[in-house]
Amino acid sequence: MPLKPGLSKFFAVAFVILTVSSIAGMISLIAVFKIQLAGWNATSPIPTTTTTLSPPPIMRLPRNLIPESYNIFIKVELYTRIVEVVNVTTPNQTLSFSGNSTVNFHCAEQTRHIYLHSRDLRIFNLSVTNKSMGNSISINSYTSYKDETDFLKIELINTLLAGKNYSLFLAFQGELSENLNTLYVSKYTETDRSSENETTVERFLAATNLEPTNARSLFPCFDEPDMKARFKLTVIHRRETTALSNGDGQGPFLIGGDDDEWQYTVFEESPKMSSYLFAFTVSEFTSLKTPVGDVLSIQVFARPEATAAGHTKYAFDVTKKILNFYEKHFDLKYTPKKLYQIALPDLEPLAMENWGLITYQEGALLYEEGVSSWLHKEDIVSIIAHELAHQWFGNMVTMKWWNDLWLNEGFSSYMSYFAVDSVEPTFQIKDTLIMGVLHAAFEEDALASSRPLSAPVEEIQTAFDIHGMFDAITYCKGAIVLRMLADIVGEEDFNNGIRAYLKAFNGRNAEQSDFWKFIEHAKHKKSFFNVESFMNEWTTQAGYPVVTINTTNGETYQKRFFYNSSAHSDSLWLIPIQYMTAIAPPDFHWLDRRGPVKIAKFISKKGEWILANINSTGYYRVNYNPENWHRLLTQLEADLDRIPLMNRGQLIDDAFNLARAKQVNVTLALNLTRFLRNETAYLPWESTVRNLEYFIHMFDRSEVYGPMQVYLREQVKGLYNFLKNHTDNSTVPQDHSLQHNQILAIEVACSNGLPECIAMVKEKFADWMTSNSTKTNNIHTNLRSVIYCQAVAAGGKEEWEFAWEKFLESSDTSEKDQLRKALSCTKKTWLLNRYLEYTLDPNKIRLMDVASTINYIAENAAGQALAWNFIRAHWKYVSQGDPYTLLEGVTSRFSTKFELSELMYFVTNSEPMPPGNGAIEQTQVNIKWVGENKDVILQWFKRETAEME
Ligand SMILES: *[C@@H]1O[C@H](CO)[C@@H](O)[C@H](O)[C@H]1NC(C)=O
Ligand SMILES: *[C@@H]1O[C@H](CO)[C@@H](O)[C@H](O)[C@H]1NC(C)=O
Ligand SMILES: *[C@@H]1O[C@H](CO)[C@@H](O)[C@H](O)[C@H]1NC(C)=O
Ligand SMILES: *[C@@H]1O[C@H](CO)[C@@H](O)[C@H](O)[C@H]1NC(C)=O
Ligand SMILES: *[C@@H]1O[C@H](CO)[C@@H](O)[C@H](O)[C@H]1NC(C)=O
Ligand SMILES: [Zn+2]
């Protein structure tokens, strides 16, 4: 299956933020997307003895048999270490597993067929027993469907009777995946101090990753989220390894007899849960844990070296606090007796909320004091808060089917903002998190191809359909529409509704209509509006509206917002409009028609401005008549504090996006950046830098760039100076949003040539070079990434070679990633060429880092053409990673007919064929955009900067 292009990009973005905490700092829970990059529909490793039949008309299991509990034995053959001992034959690594399971089920409707799921497994020794009589029921035949149903159909001689209980026993065999699916093998290295000279040795572990439909590849089961059951597991594993699972483990016990190779661990039965939440690991990991005897045992597992070095401490500390917060907030205890979290060297997604055993990528859980950026804590606390919210939303109360995945993901994302704010109040990142999520949703949902948040059940059938639900709509739009609902009914009523809903559905499955009922019941503003009919408009229609207000006559209308100005839709929403004016306190209005309708309250009095959608609590954009835009601009330049912070960021984002959709002039958007001269808050700056990125790509090789740099340099001076004392002394402000802004200020100031910024980065980097040891690197961990890059950009051969040396020396992942990025920042083409050549040598740049390294180089205007020539010359090698992202990155500046023809030639004449459709389409859009906008933008920057230099 090809990658889903847009999604792999999201993943890349999230990863960069995790490892580098880079400039844009769009810390967002996009990070938690369960995006699988490859291989989830891999073909069966073991041929089954049965044949392929045509699938039944529906892809869903019949509901005549209801599972109640499983008793599962799994033997994992994997060695965690392959010990080299002189003259002893080394065992070969074995990637197989085997086991057996008994599933007890209730018959609701008589049948002679048992349907359940099984994929890529060899199955044998089947038997069916009538539980009350104890007699066995003969099996006529069984069939594994080798199609998208993944059904295992068992045909019986006799009929199973309604109201009776039965059990099915079977044995199975399968293979560990090397692509992070189902039960997979993961590798890492460890320092071996046992010999005289320290060496690094390879270690292995096995872990599961079952969401959404991989449980069926581990053992045959009723693998649908509403087929909840209790799971009891026994793992048989090798000596000196530890097995963890959802329940509390007893053991390990020796098998007994002469067998000292194997031991087993018995886990207590899980609560009733969906199969995708089943999990276990076998590893040599160690943990940081609460004292024995605590009511709830909390442990954080990691590589023994990471645990010993204290890298799990931050995660451990916030986990307890977040759990307490949720227990109070939901008024419902976390049910299991233990909560284990484990940092895995390999995992896709970033984290998975398995009940009682949450798995994380290392970057999402491990924090290194003195090495990690302080901002990295934001990623960790946000991801933990999201996964812990799932212990309620997802684990206790689960969506009935994957079409309503947002009941898991949108809710967990939304709840996490409050948890983060409660346990790390000094971070002050709630607004930043929310804006990040809002903009991710806006971006995705403006495409004509977007889908409704709650998809029609019949459209979500195959594993492919289900995977498609893990996207920005589910995670981001889901969270944002909940925020809108909470705002209208009021936080308190909303939270009461949530509590009642959780209690009522604990252990069960829900649909969105169930949730609306509880909010309806909890809300005091009874006749105000109907929750269900209001929310259905936002969850069952794709897209979102733009509300256009003419403040001269009060005429207001709504229409769906599309980037493509020729797209059309008849969608209609009930839109809550909170608004304020320069002279009157905030007020409220429902827009329930398409319009235009005359709304007297929106008529400007005495030439004052009106601002709609206060704090962006509504999921829509706002456009105004030019006069009102002008008044808002004037207000922002005169006294920006009169406009709420979130709106200052949103006005900029709306204006740039309305310009993109051709609903306002691009000069209006640029005019809105004028007030930044006096702005020190992060959100408006973040919004501007993100939106200007496209302008920079289109123009940084043209005559527009000169005046544009002058303009940005002038705009950022105030912000740079505001933080200068901190920056010069290598300290950072208390407030995290200002910490983000400090990085942004250095980035914008230095890259646009502010002399004091360039002097500062050169000096700090030179200090490090003279001290010549990482131990005396005095650059604050927050600022390393940006200072390394800017110092290499401002420097020459010496700085570059020092960075290269440090890159080779460092064993710390985040330091290495920062340096790898910094090396791409030099302006010297001969160094960039040398760096490109290094990407062909896996001893210098690992294969998995090749695409991102080339993209870093292409991101540099001086490296763009070199990178384009380079990937064409070495396509076979460089396309091994993620060719889509690579091509998209390297061609992101393409905006001429000549570049388009080069690209088309390359795409049609290369082997393997480049996935170029996206890049071609984007180039065509760019050509058109530059043609339409270049002159007016050039004139605008020239006019703005006429008096500056
Ligand atoms: C390994 O085996 C070889 C040949 O069997 C023998 O000569 C040698 O002494 C052995 N080395 C050790 C360390 O036992
Ligand atoms: C390991 O595999 C190799 C090649 O497949 C085989 O020759 C060797 O005997 C195996 N070793 C063990 C201990 O099974
Ligand atoms: C299932 O597997 C376990 C572990 O290998 C074994 O002890 C048990 O006897 C098996 N159950 C049956 C019924 O074969
Ligand atoms: C350890 O390293 C030293 C110096 O490189 C070497 O002389 C010695 O043989 C090594 N010892 C082992 C056990 O490899
Ligand atoms: C707003 O309304 C006024 C008065 O009717 C009209 O003259 C003007 O053209 C309208 N502006 C826009 C942008 O529609
Ligand atoms: Zn999630």
pLDDT tens figures, 276-294: 999 999 999 999 998 888 8
Q: For the domain 285-391, what is the CATH code?
A: 1.10.390.10
pLDDT in tens, 483-525: 999 999 999 999 999 999 999 999 999 999 999 999 999 998 7
* Distance from residue 413's CA to the centre of ligand 6 (Å): 7
Q: What is the mean pLDDT of residues 248-253?
A: 94
Q: In what order do the strands lie in the sheet with 111-117?
A: 111-117, 151-160, 139-144
pLDDT tens digits for 840-866? 998 899 888 899 999 999 999 999 999
Write out the two tokens for 36. 């699988």
- Domain limits, CATH 1.10.390.10, in the chain: 285-391, 392-539
Q: Evaluate whether the domain defined by 5-54+68-284 bears CATH number 2.60.40.1730.
A: yes
User: Per residue in 307-341, pLDDT tens?
Assistant: 999 999 999 999 999 999 999 999 999 989 999 99
> Which residues of the chain are in CATH 2.60.40.1730 domains?
5-54+68-284
**Nearest in space to 888 (alpha carbons), one of 6, 35, 23:** 6
Sheet holding 575-581, edge to edge: 587-591, 575-581, 610-612
Q: In a mutational test of the pocket of ligand 3, which residue from 75, 77, 100, 102 has the highest number of ligand atoms less than 8 Å from its CB?
A: 100
Is 491 known to sit in a ligand binding site?
no
% of the chain residues with pLDDT over 90? 79
943 CA to centre of ligand 5 in angstroms = 28
Strand partners, 342: 301, 359
Distance between CA atoms of residues 410 and 432, nearest Å: 17
Measure CA 915 to chain center.
Answer: 23
Determine the topology of domain 392-539 in CATH.
Answer: Neutral Protease; domain 2 (1.10.390)
Residue 161: per-residue pLDDT? 95
The H-assigned helical ranges of 425-490 are 430-445, 463-468, 472, 478-489
pLDDT band at residue 428 under the 50/70/90 scheme: confident
Mean pLDDT of all residues belonging to the chain: 90
Adjacent-strand bridge partners of 101 = 72, 170
| Lowest-confidence pick of 78-92, 109-123, 363-377, 892-906 | 78-92
> Is 390 assigned a ligand-binding role in the annotation?
yes
Core vs surface per residue 568-596: b (16+ CB within 10 A) or e: eeeebbbbbbbbbbbeeeeeeeebeeebe
Rounded to the nearest 5 percent, the helix, strand and coil shares of the chain are 45, 20, 35
- In angstroms, the CA 688 to CA 696 distance is 12
First-to-final CA distance of the chain: 55
* pLDDT value at 698 more than 60: yes
Q: Which of 348, 387, 444, 944 is catalytic?
A: 387
The number of angstroms, rounded, from the C-alpha of 352 to the middle of its chain's C-alpha atoms is: 11
The answer to whether the CB of 552 is under 6 A from ligand 5 is yes
Q: For residues 126-159, b (16+ Cβ closer than 10 Å) or e, as one string?
A: eebbbeeeeeebeeeebbbbbeebbbbbbebeee
Query: Is 736 a known ligand-binding residue?
Result: no
Name the closest-CA residue to atom 13, ligand 5.
625
pLDDT of res. 30: 36
Per CATH, the number for 828-949 is 1.25.50.20
CA 289 to centroid of ligand 6, rounded, Å? 24
Task: Looking at the CA of 598, name the nearest ligand.
Answer: 5
Which residues contact residue 751 at a Cβ distance below 8 angstroms, ignoring those fewer than 6 apart?
Answer: 790, 793
- Helix ranges (H only) for 230-338 are 304-308, 313-330
CB-ligand 4 contact for 54 (6 Å cutoff)? no
pLDDT of 89 over the 80 cut = no
Stretch 90-105: mean pLDDT, rounded?
92
**What is the CA(351)–ligand 6 centre distance, in A?**
8
| 661 in Cβ contact with 562 (< 8 Å) | yes
- For ligand 1, say whether the CB of 85 is within 6 Å of any of its atoms: no
Residue for token digits 């291989």? Answer: 39
pLDDT for 7: 33
Class of residue 52 by CB neighbours under 10 A (exposed 0-12, middle 13-18, buried 19+): exposed
Mean pLDDT to the nearest integer, 922-949? 92
Q: Hey, is 146 helix, strand or coil?
A: coil
Ligand 2 atom closest to the CA of 92, numbered from 1:
1
Q: 195: Cβ below 6 Å to ligand 4?
A: yes
Q: Which residues contact 842 (CB under 8 A, 6 or more apart)?
A: none
Query: What phi, psi does 153 have (nearest 5°)?
Result: -110, 130
Ligand 4: residue whose CA is nearest its atom 7: 197
Q: Is 387 known to be catalytic? A: yes
In the three-class reduction of DSSP (H, G, I as helix; E, B as strand; rest coil), residue 901 is classed as: helix
pLDDT value, residue 197: 73
Residue 39: which pLDDT band, with cuts at 50, 70 and 90? very low
Instruction: Name the band, by pLDDT with cuts 50, 70 and 90, for residue 259.
Output: confident
Q: Is the pLDDT of residue 531 over 70?
A: yes
Least confident range of 240-254, 376-390, 810-824:
810-824
**Which of 87, 88, 89 to mutate for ligand 1's pocket (most ligand atoms within 8 Å of CB)?**
87
- Residue found under tokens 């996006």: 657
pLDDT of residue 947: 77
- For residue 450, the Cα-to-chain-centroid distance in whole angstroms is 18
Strand, helix or coil at 353? coil
pLDDT at 371: 87
Where exactly does CATH 1.25.50.20 map onto the chain?
Answer: 828-949
Quote the ligand 6 centre to 475 CA distance (angstroms): 8
Which range is least confidently modeled, 376-390, 801-815, 930-944? 801-815
